[in-house]
Amino acid sequence: MTSTDLIPAPPRPAARRALLAGSAGNLVEWYEFGVYGCFATVIAANFFTPHAGAGAGAAGGAEALIATYASFALAFFFRPVGALLFGRLGDRLGRRPTLVLVIGLMTLATTLIGLLPTRDTVGAAAPWLLTLLRVLQGLSAGGEFGGAVSLMTEYAPPGRRGLYGAWQSFTVALGLLAGAATAAGLAVVLPAQALYAWGWRIPFLLALPLGMVALWLRTALEEPPGAPPAKAGSGARGGEVPPGGRLQARAVVLGIGRITGWSAAGYTFLVVLPSHLQSTLGASFRDALLATTLVNLGFAASILPAGLLSDRFGRRPVMLGGALGIVVLAHPLLRLLQSPGTSVQARAVAVLAAGALVGLLAGPGPAMLAEMFPRRVRCTGLGLAYSLANAVFSGCAGLVITAWTARTGDTAIPAHYAAGACAISPLALLTLRGNDHREPLR
């Protein structure tokens, strides 16, 4: 590696602006995903059953909820397309214009969901219109991660890539918390009939002002140090892209393996849990939202410390701790939630612990992926690895868990899913070298 391959340290004020602009877009994106997850049963009633209303979600049963999660999963399968499309734009034209474009598209699609007619109004066209907007969201989300993480880590001061990258995951937690808090607030102030009739639209419409703020922040950005993209010739580290500038399938597959547990456990605990508690365990809508809020609080609390720890000790030990912790504790934690004799305090500790374990994976994860690829393919490479892992293990989480629980009657399916995926990640995480976090980005 030559000195021309290294990216110079950025000025601190510019680094902070980049962190804020990248984080704002992530927050808007994940706010919407949190809202969709919290309102899955409401959306099923309005778009996937013939007659909407407060009782339609129960009447439609698991079938309508499975259809809702199928729409959810479809959006994830468009993420790799977005990662390729917007990733190439980000690598060739720059991070700033790409990030402006993806936040504009995400904000537009989310706002339009809040304006959609329901099935009672337009019939069978309603779920198709919803699915189309979910596809647009999937495309924009595919470009968001690669561009935002590239921006944050390229602006990070020396020895702080883990912390700066962790802000991407931290704003995921903030977005999910904001979505859950908005849904919980509406569930408290609105009667069920109003919530099902029109109240569910409010959180989606709130994405418009949030998105406009993120758009304003991103239009003021400058390109990170090292732009325009470096030319071919940089060296490769263990498991990363070799010289020559080709985006190797091996690096992307390795990245997928390293974040499999993060993708699956994250969505199982943070997004799918509310509807599982309602449809399978008989929890009320408000109790399910409270559990979601607590698990996301645990998630948020551990992310930035995990990023800092990974800057000091390396990405490998922190992420291994999170993956193995979920393997060991997923089933005991779910049993605590399911047991009628479990106290409220014990349930709260269980969901907080589940979220915190996912945070150990999500904190170092963005920086770890950024370190796998040189600048000329970083947006595309890390975005593609992340979006493919999410398409398979996150987007399908709700669909698989709901369908298999309905088919088998096994209420421990969420624990099987999360623990099984986290058992895969350690094999790939062991390929990380202990000093990768100390070497400059290429």
Encoded tokens for 296? 């996301």
- pLDDT score at 238: 43
- pLDDT score at 202: 93
* Architecture of the domain spanning 11-222+244-438: Up-down Bundle (1.20)
Distance CA 272, CA 40 (A): 9
Q: In the chain, what are the domain boundaries? A: 11-222+244-438
Asked whether 167 and 23 are in contact (CB, 8 A), the reply is yes
Residues of the chain with pLDDT under 70: 1-11, 50-73, 225-248, 274-275, 279, 281, 285
* Residue whose C-alpha is closest to residue 223's, from 144, 139, 140, 147: 147
Query: For the chain, how many residues are written?
Result: 442
Distance CA 75, CA 72 (A): 6
Taking only the tens place, the pLDDT of each residue in 159-184 is: 899 999 999 999 988 887 888 788 88
Distance CA 319, CA 286 (A): 33
- pLDDT score at 50: 63
Asked whether 202 and 195 are in contact (CB, 8 A), the reply is no
- pLDDT score at 69: 63
Taking only the tens place, the pLDDT of each residue in 295-332 is: 889 999 999 999 999 999 999 999 999 999 999 999 99
- pLDDT score at 68: 67
φ, ψ (nearest 5 deg) of residue 134: -65, -35
Encoded tokens for 191? 């009667």
φ, ψ (nearest 5 deg) of residue 220: -90, 0
Whole-model pTM: value is: 0.80
- pLDDT score at 59: 40
